[in-house]
C-alpha cells in the first residue's frame, strides 16, 4: 500500500510534465530516431522512461538557436533534474528489502551506501552508461534514505546527541577534505564529486534529524 501510494504521487505528475515537454522538444526540432546520444532508432524505447523512469528520461543537449527566445540548453534545464525521479523510484521499490536488511543488521545496512560510493564513485570500479549513473546515484543518496529508517525505528534517539553530531561533523569534514583533492570542472560543486556529496549529505541529514522539531502547528 505504501509503495502504491508513493507511485501514485510520483508517476501522474511525471506524465503531465512529459505531455507538455515532449511535444515542445519535438516541435523545436528534436528527432529522437536521429539523436546519436540516444542511439538512433534502437534508443527509442528509452522514451518510455517518461512513463516509468527506470532510467533518466532522455532529452537533447541543445535545441534552437542562439537568437531564439530561450537559451539553446533549455531542454537540459527542463529535463535534466528528472534523474531524481529515477533515483526516487528505485529507492521506493527497494525500500521493503532495505528495511528488512536494516532491521536485521542496522549499522552495516546504514553504512553500506557510503562504502559502495567509495567503490563506484571514485573511479575504483567504473560502471559505464546509464546503469553506472543509476548505481552511483543510489549509492550517493542511499545513506540519507536509510537514515530515515534509523530515525523511524528510534535508532538515532538511542545515540547521545553530542556523539551523533560530533561524528556527523567528522564525516562532513572528510567530505570536504576529499572534495578539496578531487575538484571537478565546476570547482566545489559536490554534484561532480560523489564521495564528497555522499558523506557531506549524510552528515547534514544526521544533524537535521537530531534537531528536527516536532510541530503540531507551524510557528507564526
Interval 138-142 mean pLDDT: 96
Cell numbers at 161, concatenated: 546527541
Statement to judge: residues 52 and 114 lie in one domain: no
Cell numbers at 83, concatenated: 534523474
Statement to judge: residues 72 and 110 lie in one domain: no
Residue whose entry in the numeric block shows the C-alpha cell 553504512:
111
Cα–Cα nearest to 134, from 89, 94, 96, 86: 86
Predicted local distance difference test score (pLDDT) of residue 18: 95
What is the SS3 assignment for 184?
Answer: strand
Statement to judge: residues 11 and 69 lie in one domain: yes
Query: Does the residue 89 lie in any domain?
Result: no
Does the pLDDT at position 218 exceed 70?
Answer: no
Query: Does the residue 96 lie in any domain?
Result: no
Task: Give residue 151's pLDDT band: very low, low, confident or very high (50, 70, 90).
Answer: very high
For residue 66, give its domain range. Answer: 2-83
Domain count, the chain: 2
What does the alpha-carbon distance between residue 101 and residue 109 come to, in Å, rounded to a whole number?
6
What does the alpha-carbon distance between residue 174 and residue 29 come to, in Å, rounded to a whole number?
46
Statement to judge: residues 47 and 142 lie in one domain: no
Q: How many CB atoms within 10 Å of residue 179?
A: 21
How much is the pTM?
Answer: 0.84
Query: Does the residue 98 lie in any domain?
Result: no
Cell numbers at 153, concatenated: 525505528
How many Å separate Cα 3 from the centre of its chain? Answer: 18
Cα–Cα nearest to 50, from 8, 1, 10: 10
Statement to judge: residues 79 and 166 lie in one domain: no
Task: Give residue 185's pLDDT band: very low, low, confident or very high (50, 70, 90).
Answer: confident
The set of residues, in sequence order, having a beta carbon less than 8 Å from that of 141 and lying 6+ positions away, is 87, 91, 113, 198, 201
Task: Give residue 3's pLDDT band: very low, low, confident or very high (50, 70, 90).
Answer: confident
Statement to judge: residues 73 and 115 lie in one domain: no
Interval 169-177 mean pLDDT: 98
What does the alpha-carbon distance between residue 66 and residue 71 come to, in Å, rounded to a whole number?
6
pLDDT digits (tens, 9 = 90+) for 28-75: 889 999 888 888 888 899 999 999 999 889 999 888 777 767 788 899
Alpha helices in the chain (DSSP H): 2-27, 74-79, 83-104, 106-120, 129-152, 161-180, 194-210
Question: Higher model confidence: residue 95 or residue 3?
Answer: 95
Statement to judge: residues 125 and 199 lie in one domain: yes
Statement to judge: residues 175 and 117 lie in one domain: yes
Query: Does the residue 97 lie in any domain?
Result: no
What does the alpha-carbon distance between residue 165 and residue 161 come to, in Å, rounded to a whole number?
6
What does the alpha-carbon distance between residue 35 and residue 27 come to, in Å, rounded to a whole number?
15
Predicted local distance difference test score (pLDDT) of residue 36: 86
Statement to judge: residues 115 and 197 lie in one domain: yes
Amino acid at each position: 500500500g505504501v509503495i502504491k501510494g508513493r507511485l501514485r504521487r510520483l508517476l501522474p505528475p511525471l506524465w503531465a510534465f512529459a505531455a507538455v515537454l515532449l511535444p515542445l522538444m519535438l516541435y523545436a526540432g528534436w528527432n529522437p530516431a536521429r539523436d546519436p546520444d540516444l542511439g538512433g532508432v534502437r534508443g527509442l524505447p528509452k522514451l518510455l522512461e517518461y512513463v516509468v523512469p527506470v532510467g533518466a528520461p532522455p532529452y537533447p543537449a541543445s535545441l534552437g538557436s542562439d537568437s531564439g527566445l530561450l537559451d539553446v540548453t533549455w531542454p537540459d534545464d527542463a529535463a535534466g533534474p528528472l534523474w531524481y525521479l529515477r533515483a526516487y523510484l528505485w529507492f521506493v521499490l527497494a525500500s521493503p528489502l532495505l528495511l528488512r536488511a536494516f532491521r536485521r543488521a542496522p549499522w552495516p545496512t546504514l553504512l553500506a551506501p557510503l562504502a559502495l560510493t567509495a567503490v563506484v564513485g571514485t573511479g575504483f570500479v567504473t560502471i559505464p552508461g546509464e546503469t553506472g549513473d543509476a548505481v552511483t546515484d543510489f549509492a550517493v543518496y542511499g545513506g540519507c534514505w536509510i537514515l530515515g529508517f534509523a530515525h523511524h525505528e528510534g535508532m538515532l534517539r538511542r545515540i547521545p546527541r553530542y556523539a551523533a553530531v560530533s561524528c556527523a561533523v567528522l564525516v562532513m569534514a572528510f567530505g570536504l577534505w576529499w572534495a578539496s583533492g578531487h575538484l571537478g570542472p565546476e570547482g566545489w560543486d559536490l554534484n561532480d564529486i560523489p564521495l564528497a556529496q555522499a558523506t557531506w549529505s549524510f552528515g547534514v541529514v544526521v544533524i537535521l534529524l537530531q534537531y528536527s522539531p516536532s510541530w503540531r502547528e507551524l510557528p507564526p
